[in-house]
Amino acid sequence: MRASAVGTVSGDTDTRRWVRQTGRYVQELCLEHLVRRSVLRRETHRFLGLLPYHRHPAADPALSLAVRDRFVAAEAAGFPDPRSRTLAALVSAVGLSGAVARGGLRQRWAMYSLVTEEWTAEAVYRNVRQDRANRNRRSHISGGGGSSGGD
């Protein structure tokens, strides 16, 4: 594999493309694992009565409270161990630090600085940023800018 670049040679595999293609499969594996461990439950619904889709709500709401408490404790201690540092970096990489950080702006910046220290979080951050840019580009091109056009 090689890094993404313009004009890739036909024999090489672009890493971003590979991550995006295998991401769906990995997501399903992770969801299935969490359902088997009773962390999530799978609910099947139908869109327009025809197309099936799945939702995965928390199986036990008290479990998420315990996880949040562990995160707050790690945050208060300054994310001292590698596991909590990786978790904080991933939370920041996906843009959830504002929702879970209790230490305000200073703590969110501390979590953001961890993104560059963890290669997995940095890769997630780049992909999330690219997805947002693609989504914005598509909505702008399709005319879905949401502007009313004047005062």
Written as six digits, the tokens of 132 are 């947002």
Q: How confident is the model at residue 5 (pLDDT cuts 50, 70, 90)?
A: low
Please check the confidence at residue 13 and state whether its pLDDT lies above 70: no
> What pLDDT is attached to residue 149?
46
Give the CA radius of gyration of the chain: 19
Please check the confidence at residue 147 and state whether its pLDDT lies above 80: no
How many beta carbons lie within 10 A of that of residue 39, not counting itself? 16
Q: What is the pLDDT of residues 14-64, one digit of tens each?
A: 666 776 777 777 778 888 888 888 888 888 888 887 888 888 888 887 877
> What pLDDT is attached to residue 151?
42
Q: What is the pLDDT of residues 73-110, one digit of tens each?
A: 888 888 888 888 898 898 888 888 888 778 777 888 88
Model pTM score: 0.60
Closest CA to 59 of 29, 36, 25, 30: 36
> What pLDDT is attached to residue 144?
52
DSSP readout, 29-62?
A: HHHHHHHHTTSB--EEEEETTTEEEEE--BS-HH
> What pLDDT is attached to residue 111?
84
Please check the confidence at residue 116 and state whether its pLDDT lies above 50: yes
Closest CA to 58 of 79, 76, 43: 43
